[in-house]
Amino acid sequence: MRFFGAKLIEKRIKSFNKRGKIALIPYITAFDPDKSATFEFLKYIAEAEPACIELGFPFSDPVADGPTIQKAVVRALKNNPSFEEYLELVSQFKKSFPDIPIVCMTYYNIIYRYGLERTISEAFTSGLDGFIIPDLPMEEAGPWLRVNKGRGLGTIFLAAPTSGLERIKKMARLSKGFLYYVSLTGITGARDKLPEDLTLRLKNIRSLIKIPLAVGFGISRQEHVKMLSPYADALIVGSALVSIIEKEGKKAGPALKEFLLTLKNANS
């Protein structure tokens, strides 16, 4: 039986956990520096055996993102990307790597203008497995959740250090695929150090929820992986990879793979 959507995401993360392997979720921005390069990057990332891939669709006002990803979005927008092209890219990738889930990270204005029903329907057809929508709080997610009900695509909500435990439990009940826990207050970006109380927070949250817990924002070093892997089911790595693309351009593929393998070997 072949899984898809939220079930595939959860199954793959749990398979890494059962084998004692680090479940990484790498993030890159689609169309940075262009569509063909993004497809090559995805193939190299797939060779590093990620638990899931978070593929951002560029939006002009990425409020959750720091300078590194903001610059990637500017580079991507110069290519005038369309959501149809994005879904074509996903479909192309999934033909070769059907068992690696891909989650779209974008903002609500994109999918609202595209049409909620159309977004869900075409995402399903393309092989996309889920959505992370940072500016869609659960209190305003009713229309989106109703359209997606029973369709199988994951909706992944973001919890923050400022979120109370009761709120986090409710987010986890609504989330499908995994719960995204933001490690720190602020925006995305590689950090030298992560908050000292982060592991305790993760331990408390993990005991309360039933779906996989993924932590992101700031993860960029082997010591971060060593610190967090006992307390989270998956680790999200974004700005560090986007920085490689900024530096290497279209030739970044091998360096992306090498960096991910270095993180995966942190506990060896």
3-class DSSP assignment, residue 5: helix
CA angle, corner 87, sides to 128 and 251, nearest 5?
100
- Taking 3-state DSSP, the helix, strand and coil percentages for the chain, each rounded to the nearest 5, stand at 50, 15, 40
Q: Establish whether 246 is a catalytic residue.
A: no
Q: What is the DSSP letter of 57?
A: P
Q: What is the DSSP letter of 184?
A: S
Instruction: Please choose, from the candidates 230, 267, 266, 263, the residue with its C-alpha nearest in 3D space to the C-alpha of residue 49.
Output: 263
Among residues 10, 32, 65, 233, the one annotated as catalytic is: 65
Instruction: Compute how many other C-beta atoms are within 10 angstroms of the C-beta atom of residue 240.
Output: 22
Place of tokens 């279209």: 250
Question: At 107, which amino acid appears?
Answer: Y
The answer to whether the beta carbons of residues 235 and 214 sit under 8 Å apart is: yes
Question: At 69, which amino acid appears?
Answer: I
Among residues 10, 34, 40, 54, the one annotated as catalytic is: 54
**Upstream peptide bond of 33 is cis (omega within 30 degrees of 0):** yes
Q: Establish whether 54 is a catalytic residue.
A: yes
Question: At 189, which amino acid appears?
Answer: G
The answer to whether the beta carbons of residues 174 and 144 sit under 8 Å apart is: no
Q: Cα(197)–Cα(194) distance, rounded to whole angstroms? A: 9
Instruction: Compute how many other C-beta atoms are within 10 angstroms of the C-beta atom of residue 44.
Output: 16
Q: Which residues are catalytic?
A: 54, 65
